[in-house]
């Protein structure tokens, strides 16, 4: 059994590494844990610990069904964000838009799965460029899911330029969860999120995004921002977005090697300060009551009904439960592997499609060397395959900087959830 202890926000905490279970303790217990002991009062509340054999067997042998598809309905974009992993939308290839016939085949593939659940995500490029395909696919998938007695859930990521009220009417009708790309105040957003002519887009997208919040009142959308080496003050960006009325927010770092705007090791102390500021803002607003509260994606750990240990180790499901389809119908393990040809898994038009990417089944935290001793292994699930691949050339590799950021963020998320329990 391994215990990890840390102190944050003036409190003391312990993580049970094998299960990711989390405890607040007093200073005497904390000090004993730091000395390598496990006091009786802590032992009494520790959960059942899985054996590595049981967990590995569950992860690699149990049937796992395809339940989520990302439809990259365009390989083109009406923006040219400098940090875009999809190389301004075309993934390093030709510009393309998915025909409905391809989307229909993709939906049929998903509906063949025995999963009782189907997630369909529209992505790109900018998916609203392929609006006709999106609209037809929403109708078709809804009908197919009903006939197969499956529950279907839709999501769509947009930069907002084409998000008009009439499109929003349709997206509302199908209860499409929206991810709205917005980095913060104009000066931050316009630094990277520019149109094809290089002009800032803040003024053009804000009106549409505010309309989403007006209609949805904090539900069924996320404002998703990105922070970079050049825009590290993300707590101020979150505060700005909250002041603008947005209630569900996510803010992510640009990692990766060799880009001027990617996060550097020397940025970590600033990022730590930013998470501390964000945690304090989050808690202050939560204390003021539900009408003042906002939700930060990484802090929402749902302590009353958390995912199981097995679910956590399963990770994001890429290459197994989750696949991506490009505009030509080619299938990849996830949207970030789009056009990475060694990982192509077939085409939705083919009679037989490779159902799983075997390497992705095995590349979990129990098998990754760098995860073996990490205290956060049961919480992060082994990290992002694409992050590993694009920084080390191998899905088994480690982006050490990403791991540091994830551990830092987890410490704040855990501490915030402990403090939140005082308010309820």
Partner 1 sequence: MVRVIIKNELQKEEDFKGACQTACKTSATVSNVTFEPEQ
Q: At 119, list the tokens.
A: 């997630």
User: Taking CB under 8 A as the rule, does residue 90 contact partner 1?
Assistant: no
Radius of gyration of the chain (CA): 22
Contacts 24+ apart (CB under 8 A), 267-272: 267/229, 267/232, 268/401, 268/404, 268/405, 268/408, 270/232, 271/232, 271/405, 271/408, 272/408
Q: What mask, x for binding partner 1 by CB under 8 A, covers residues 229 to 268?
A: ---------------------x-xxxxx--x--x------
Contact 70, 121 (CB under 8 A): yes
Q: Which stretch binds partner 1 (CB under 8 A): 133-141, 199-207, 229-237, 302-310?
A: 302-310
Tokens of 262: 């990617």
Any contact of residue 285 with partner 1 (CB under 8 A)? no
How far are the Cα atoms of 55, 118, 123, 415, 420 from residue 22, in angstroms, in the given order? 20, 31, 35, 9, 14
Binding segment (CB under 8 A) for partner 1, from list 43-51, 232-240, 269-277, 342-350: 43-51
Query: According to the binding rule CB under 8 A, does residue 119 interact with partner 1?
Result: yes
User: Considering the complex, what minimum distance in angstroms separates the CB of residue 351 from partner 1?
Assistant: 25
Pick the stretch among 65-73, 164-172, 200-208, 232-240 that binds partner 1 (CB under 8 A). 65-73
Part in contact with partner 1 (CB under 8 A); list of ranges 101-109, 141-149, 162-170, 416-424: 416-424
Which tokens belong to 46?
């520790």
349-368: contacts with partner 1 (CB under 8 A): none
From candidates 160, 327, 383, 397, binder to partner 1 by CB under 8 A:
383
Does 424 sit near partner 1 (CB under 8 A)? no
Question: Which position among 70, 163, 171, 331 is part of the footprint of partner 1 (CB under 8 A)?
Answer: 70
Does 336 sit near partner 1 (CB under 8 A)? yes
Helix axes 131-147, 100-112, angle to 10 degrees: 30
**Exposed/middle/buried for residue 221 (C-beta within 10 Å: 0-12, 13-18, 19+):** buried
Range in contact with partner 1 (rule: CB under 8 A) among 41-49, 133-141, 340-348, 355-363: 41-49
**Single residue of 34, 95, 142, 179 touching partner 1 by CB under 8 A:** 179
Shortest Cβ 347–partner 1 spacing (Å): 21
Peptide bond into 369 cis (omega under 30): no
């Amino acid at each position: 059994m391994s215990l990890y202890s840390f102190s944050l926000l003036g409190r003391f905490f312990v993580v049970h590494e094998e299960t990711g279970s989390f405890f607040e303790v007093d200073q005497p217990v904390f000090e004993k844990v730091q000395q390598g002991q496990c006091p009786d009062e802590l032992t009494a509340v520790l959960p059942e610990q899985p054996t590595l054999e049981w967990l590995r067997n569950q992860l690699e042998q149990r049937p796992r069904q395809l339940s989520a598809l990302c439809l990259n309905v365009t390989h083109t974009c009406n923006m040219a964000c400098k940090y875009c992993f999809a190389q301004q939308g075309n993934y390093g290839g030709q510009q393309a838009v998915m025909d409905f016939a391809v989307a229909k085949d993709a939906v049929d593939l998903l509906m063949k799965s025995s999963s009782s659940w189907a997630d369909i995500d529209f992505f790109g490029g900018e998916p609203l460029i392929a609006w006709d395909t999106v609209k037809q696919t929403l109708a078709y998938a809804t009908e197919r899911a009903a006939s197969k007695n499956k529950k279907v859930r839709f999501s769509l990521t947009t930069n907002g330029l084409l998000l008009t009220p009439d499109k929003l009417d349709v997206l509302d009708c199908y209860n499409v969860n929206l991810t709205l790309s917005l980095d913060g105040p104009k000066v931050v957003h316009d630094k990277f999120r520019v149109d094809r002519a290089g002009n800032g887009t803040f003024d053009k997208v804000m009106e549409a995004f505010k309309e989403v919040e007006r209609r949805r009142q904090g539900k069924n959308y996320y404002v998703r921002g990105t922070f970079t080496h050049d825009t590290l003050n993300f707590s101020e960006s979150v505060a700005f977005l909250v002041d603008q009325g947005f209630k569900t927010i996510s803010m992510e770092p640009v990692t990766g090697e060799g880009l001027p705007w990617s996060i550097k090791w020397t940025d970590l102390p600033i990022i730590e300060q930013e998470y501390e500021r964000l945690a304090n803002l989050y808690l202050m607003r939560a204390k003021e009551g539900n009408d003042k509260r906002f939700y930060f994606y990484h802090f929402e750990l749902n302590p009353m009904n958390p995912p199981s240990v097995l679910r956590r180790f399963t990770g994001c499901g890429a290459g197994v439960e989750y696949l991506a389809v490009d505009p030509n119908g080619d299938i990849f393990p996830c949207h970030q592997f789009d056009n990475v040809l060694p990982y192509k898994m077939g085409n939705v038009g083919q009679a037989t499609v490779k159902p799983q990417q075997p390497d992705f089944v095995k590349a979990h935290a129990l098998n990754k060397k760098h995860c073996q001793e990490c205290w956060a292994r049961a919480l992060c699930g082994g990290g992002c395959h694409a992050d590993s691949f694009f920084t080390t050339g191998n899905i088994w590799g480690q982006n050490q900087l990403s791991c540091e950021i994830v551990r830092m963020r987890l410490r704040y998320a855990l501490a915030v959830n402990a403090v939140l329990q005082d308010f309820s």
